[in-house]
Structure 1
């Protein structure tokens, strides 16, 4: 037995130092001390000497820098250079365009939760709150979604004018240029409030404040461009759009076939140097009404008028609507959410070089400009739209499920409906936290490339799941369109958010982990950059530092992942209160597991990893759920750890952890090198998978919150427009909830008495008359039951129409068609 003791001591020293990420010299000292103790305490001397030899064989060359660099680093640098996948200029630009926030900690395997909890609480300024409570609410009051989507296929003129007057298109344009100068957080709150009222309204406001000429001008425009265009964009004198996508360049935007040739042309009566554009774009939001078009194109200088470079690269220009040769096409019709969207074409459209965004200096820099601004749009507009829809879906569906009765029972009390309500509530909670966290990162001045893709993908997916469950619970109420229907249009428009600004399939399988594995990893980017340095000494020095930092990091994460798995994440110091401490420990475990999986995949698959999209997608799911869970915990802490929110937080957290284990399990079971997958399974799941989906009991508690007025429900509803009115049927249903609950005891008493009586009255008013005569109810209770009947009827009522009302305005019947042909 004494033979094993020295080796056990060496192993324990290694595991302890790896877990705590102690320096190599500290490990050598601790291990040596333990071996000396083994020697003097009577352990087998030969075994002790062998263990000491192993320690010396590892420690001496590693601790002596010249020996390490010569024997280990130099050969590994040559191997790494051959292994390193080639990066195109566009890939390198995409990787270098974003900043890294707390998602970097999640990739580290040992998140510093104090960094997350020390971030400032997202809050609006007094001016922003006043605008949200004033002009934004007034815009909601003015909105009639049925009129917009079915009658006009557009916003009414008075609403367009109001949006311009109140500078809705200049939310984030600085005040010095005539805008409102609001934060990205405020942009999020505005879109979140508008979206449940009308997706057409929210997209009309959202696009000019995200990816578009204003955003690009603020970041890169010349001072002359800013002073001329930004005030006009802020007050609506110019309506912008940005033309990027074309028939042959959708997700692959770097393959833009649209081009511009440098040459001379006429502009405002003068012969100047400029670009002749040829373009064919589609799916361009606001194009039919735009007066200023931002265009992405590939710029060529065949005559060398600007220098020696002929293919200058992707560039961005501003083109006035009335430019000769520019054609704004007819409108697209996006899934019964008819926001202004259409194609743009142009042939030999001449603009001067001064119309390049940023001027001639930024010619060829368009891809970098787009990458830096695209993440802003993905961080706010689409996640905020999904968050608003999910929150409104949760609030109104909870009220509807309490009001709507079948078999004498609220439908929300049926377990099948309860399951759907719990999903709605949990996902609305998660979606709201995720969208706010990502908008807050932008407001802090970050450019969150990876969180923006996480927010775009997962918020829109959760929004789709919530919309599906909302439709299922509402049944016929949801499928019969009309002014009373608040669910159908949202269901119809959900796929739009899934598709735009990077289709979700591509976002998940290529972007989240593809960017995160390099951008968020603490060492990979440093290794890549050091391997490309020109100076040999500087290259070997920096690569040596990054390489051995990476090795120690990988060993540490393997130990941490196994230890957390072995102990069930029950040991370890973490922040949080008694309720959330276990949550932080679980996230520590899966952070380490993700890091082990990422390092192993990159080491063994190298450049082939980018083509393993299923593996990349699953590892992206792990990173995403870690980020979502972190966002939920941060908001829970910011809100003062409200006990009332526990069911929603717990449901959403258990759901996230369950999805993490499913993703890790899928990645391991399908790992391309099967023996490695088996070994990693033993490290990550030493006792097998243990995380389960949220329980029925927890689902019952979460569903009950949505059907009962309470502070948790009010917090979830915060920043929604819930003023009941003729144009806001969802808010009307929500406003009935308290009255319905007050009337339920009276209703139960009356129905029980009626069931046990021999009264023959068949209609409701006659039954109430009998109830008064028999003394079952008082006159006040009768009034309460009559109001309950009216409320219930308004809640479940759907619309009907004359046949001619449902015809298109351009409909021509057979007789009219024959008359037209005869006249022609």
Structure 2
């Protein structure tokens, strides 16, 4: 036994040092001290000497730079440069554009939770709250979604005027240019509320406040451009759109074939240097009504009029609609949601260099400009739209499931419906936390490249899951379109959110982990930059420092993964209270696991990893669920740790960690190098996968919160339009919930007496008359049951139409050209 003691001491101290990330000299000193103690306490001398020799063999070469640099670091630098995946200029720009926030801690394997919890609670200013309670509320009251989507296929003139007059297009534009100067958080809250009422209105307001001329001008515009355009954009004199995608370049925006040739031309009566543009764009929101077109194109200077570079690169420009040669096509028809969307074309459209966003100085920098501004659309507009729809779906479906009865029982009491309600509740809680977290990051001045892709993908994807369950619970009520249907249009809208700003399939498989593995990793980007330094001595020194930091990091994560796996995450320092501390420990475990998997994948696969999209997608799922779970815990802390929210937090958290383990399992079982996959499985899942999907008991508690008035339900509903009015059937149904619950005992008493009686009346009014005469109910209770019947009818009724009302007037199909676009001739 004494033979094993020195080696056990060696391994134990090494594991402890790795777990706590102690520096190499500290490990060496602690191990030497332990071996001396073993010697003095009578351990086997030979074993102690061998263990000491192992320590010396490891420590001395690594601690002495004169040995380490030429013999270890230099060969590894050569190997590293060979496996380093080549970065294109567009990839380099994307990596350098974003900032890293708490998501970097999730890649560290040892998150500093204080960094997250110390962030201030996101709060609106008094002015922003007043706008949300005033103009935004009024805009929702004015909105008739059926009229917009089916009758007019457009906002009414009154809505357009109200939006412009109240500067909804200028939420983010600074006050000195006539805008409202609101924060990104306020932008999120406004879009969320509008989306809960109408996806057409929310997208109409959201697009000018995300990727478009105003956002680009604020960041890059010349002073002259800002002074002229921003006030006009803020008050609606100019309606903007931005032309990026086309028939031959969708998600791959860097491959746009639209081009501009630098040449001389006429502009406002003068002959100036400018660009002659030829472009073909489609799927452009607000294009049919836009007066100012932002345009992305590739710029060429064949005659060297502005320099010696022929291919200048992707460039952005402002093109007034009335510019000669600009052709705005007929409208697209996006899944019956009828927001303004359509193609734009142009052939040899001349604009001066002063119309380039940022002027000539920003020619060729369009990709960088787009990447830096895309975070607004991905962080705010689309996640907020998903949040508004999911939260509205949760609270109204809960009320509907309580009101709607089958077999004498509220449908929400059936376990199958209860499962769907639990999913709705948990997903709505997660979407709400995630969308607010990314908006708050933008409001703090961050450019959250990785969180923005996580938020865009998962908020829209979970919103689709919520919409599906909402439709299932509503049944026939959900599929019959009309003014009384508040679910059908949302179901039609979610695939649009999933498609735009980068299709979700591409976002998951290419972007989330692809960016995160480099941008958020504490060492990889530093190593890459060091390896590419032109000064070889400086490159070797910096690579040496980062390389051995990375090696220690990897060893630590392997030890931490195994420890948390062996202990089922029950032991380890973590913040939170007695309820949430276990959650933080679980996230500590999966953070270490993600870092271990990322390092192993990048080391062994190198540049091939970018083509392993299934592996990248699964590791992206792990990072995403870590970020979502962190956002939920932050929300819970910000709300003051409300006990009432615990079922929602617990359901959503268990769902997240279950998805993490499913993703890890898929990655390990399909790892390209199978023996490595088996070894990693033993480290990560020493007892096998243990995380389970949320239990039925937990689902029952979460579903019950949606079907009765309570503080947790109110917090979940915060920020959506629930005012009961003629054009808001969802708000009316939600308002009935309390009255319905109060009437339920009377209803049960009446139905029980009716069942045991022999009265002759078959209609409801006659049965109520008999009930009063027989003394089953009082006259006051009769009124209560009559009101219950009226509320139930309003909740379950659907629309019907004359056949002529459903015919589309004036539609005439036109042939398409070879590019698949419709003929743009005006209808006869």
Task: State the shift of 1:65 in Å.
Answer: 1.7
Cα distance in 1 for residues equivalent to 2:239 and 2:650:
45
> 1:355 and 1:259 mapped to 2: Cα distance?
15
In the alignment, the residues of structure 2 paired with residue 662 and residue 149 of structure 1 have an alpha-carbon distance, to the nearest angstrom, of: 40
Question: Hey, what does 2:204 align to over in structure 1?
Answer: 204
Tell me which residue corresponds to 1:821: none
* Distance in 2 between residues matched to 1:479 and 1:293, nearest whole Å: 37
Q: What SS is found at the alignment partner of 1:736?
A: helix
Counterparts of residues 50-69 of structure 1 (less than 5 Å): 50-69=50-69
- 1:292–1:321: 8 Å Cα contact kept in structure 2? yes
The equivalent residue for 2:35 is 35
Per-residue deviation at 1:789?
Answer: 0.4
Equivalent positions of 1:570-649 (< 5 A) are: 570-649=570-649
Q: Which residue of 1 aligns with 2:786?
A: 786
Q: Which residue of 2 aligns with 1:817?
A: none
SS of residue in 1 equivalent to 2:172: coil
Aligned residue for 1:242, secondary structure, equals strand
Task: Write the deviation string for residues 476-500 of structure 1: whole angstroms up to 9, x where unpaired.
Answer: 0000000000000000111000100
Question: 1:204-243, aligned counterparts within 5 Å?
Answer: 204-243=204-243
Aligned partner of 1:16 in structure 2 is 16
Deviation by residue 1:59-82 (Cα, 9 ceiling, x = unmatched): 001111221111111110011011
- CA offsets, 1:191-232, max 9 Å, x none? 000002110100000000000000000000011110100000
Distance 1:776 1:41, change over 3 A: same
Q: Separation in 2 of the partners of 1:575 and 1:653?
A: 16
Look up the match of 1:6. 6
Residue 352 in structure 1 maps to residue 364 in structure 2: no
Residue-by-residue CA offset, 1:539-598 (whole Å, 9 max, x unaligned)? 111101110010000000000000000000001111111110000000000000000000
Q: Pairwise mapping of residues 77-116 of structure 1 onto structure 2 (< 5 A)?
A: 77-116=77-116
Distance 1:802 1:75 in 2: 80
| 1:702 counterpart = 2:702 | yes
State the distance in 2 between where 1:449 and 1:119 align. 19
Give the 3-state SS of the residue equivalent to 1:343 in structure 2: strand
Does the aligned pair in 2 maintain the 1:647–1:701 contact within 8 Å?
Answer: yes
For the residue of structure 2 that corresponds to 1:478, the secondary structure is: helix
Aligned to 1:658: 658
Shift of 1:812: 9.1
Report matched runs for 1:375-774 at 5 Å.
375-774=375-774
Q: Where does residue 142 of structure 1 map in the other structure?
A: 142
1:507-543: CA deviation from partner (whole Å, max 9, x where unpaired): 0000000000000000000000000001122111110
Q: How far, CA to CA, are the matches of 1:172 and 1:377 in structure 2?
A: 13
Q: Secondary structure at the match of 2:107?
A: helix
What is the alpha-carbon distance in structure 2 between the residues aligned to residue 608 and residue 759 of structure 1? 79
Change (3 A) 1:372 1:811: closer
Partner-residue secondary structure (3-state), 1:730? helix
Q: Does 1:808 align with 2:816?
A: no
TM-score (norm. length: structure 2): 0.98
Distance 2:516 2:494 in 1: 27
2:811 and 2:582 map into 1 onto residues whose CA distance is 63
CA apart distance, 1:40? 1.0
Task: Render the CA deviation track for 1:342-399: whole Å, top value 9, x for unaligned.
Answer: 0010001000001110111100000000000012210000000000000000000000
What SS class does the counterpart of residue 633 from structure 1 fall into?
helix
The yes-or-no answer on 1:315 pairing with 2:315 is yes
The Cα shift of 1:3 comes to 1.2
Q: Where has structure 1 moved over 2 Å in runs of 4 or more?
A: none
Unaligned runs of 5+ in 1: 814-823
- Distance in 1 between the 2:812 and 2:220 partners? 51
Cα displacement (A) at 1:44: 1.0
Deviations 1:93-126 (A, max 9, x none): 0111100000000000000000000001000000
How do residues 274-285 of structure 1 correspond to structure 2 at under 5 angstroms?
274-285=274-285
Shift of 1:811: 5.9
Structure 2: segments with no counterpart, 5+ residues: 814-827
Distance across 2 between alignment mates of 1:308 and 1:776: 95
Contact 1:376 1:448 in 2 (8 A): no
What is the CA–CA distance in structure 2 between the aligned matches of 1:440 and 1:109, rounded to whole Å?
Answer: 24
Q: How many residues align?
A: 814
RMSD over aligned Cα, in angstroms?
0.9
CA distance in 2, matches of 1:35, 1:376: 57
Structure 2 CA distance for aligned equivalents of residues 544 and 241 of structure 1: 49
Give 3-state SS (helix, strand or coil) of 1:725's partner: coil
1:307 & 1:798 partners in 2: Cα distance? Answer: 66
Q: CA deviation at 1:45?
A: 0.8
How far apart in 2 are the matches of 1:256 and 1:811? 32
Map of 1:189 onto structure 2:
189
2:302 counterpart SS class: coil
Q: What is the CA distance between 1:506 and its match in structure 2?
A: 0.3
Partner of 2:330: 330
Report the counterpart of residue 365 of structure 1 in structure 2.
Answer: 365
Q: Partner of 1:816 in structure 2?
A: none
- Work out whether residues 276 and 349 of structure 1, in 8 Å CA contact, stay in contact via their aligned partners in 2: yes
The whole-number CA distance in structure 2 between the counterparts of 1:761 and 1:425 is 42
Distance of 1:446 and 1:32 partners within structure 2 = 46
Q: Which residue number in structure 2 is paired with residue 163 of structure 1?
A: 163
**Partners in 2 of 1:473 and 1:805 — Cα distance?**
28
SS in 1 for 2:296: strand
2:278 is paired with a residue of what secondary structure? strand
Partner deviation per Cα, 1:425-469 (whole Å, 9 max, x = no partner): 000000000000000000000000000000000000000000000
Q: Is the 8 A contact 1:111 1:588 kept in 2?
A: yes
1:790 to partner: Cα distance: 0.5
Partner Cα separation in structure 1 for residue 51 and residue 128 of structure 2: 66
Aligned partner of 2:819 in structure 1 is: none
In the other structure, the counterpart of 1:291 is 291
Q: Counterparts of 2:266 and 2:542 in 1: how far apart (Å)?
A: 53
2-side partners of 1:705 and 1:102: how far apart?
31
SS in 2 for 1:108: coil
Hey, what's the Cα distance between the residues in 2 that align with 1:197 and 1:458?
21
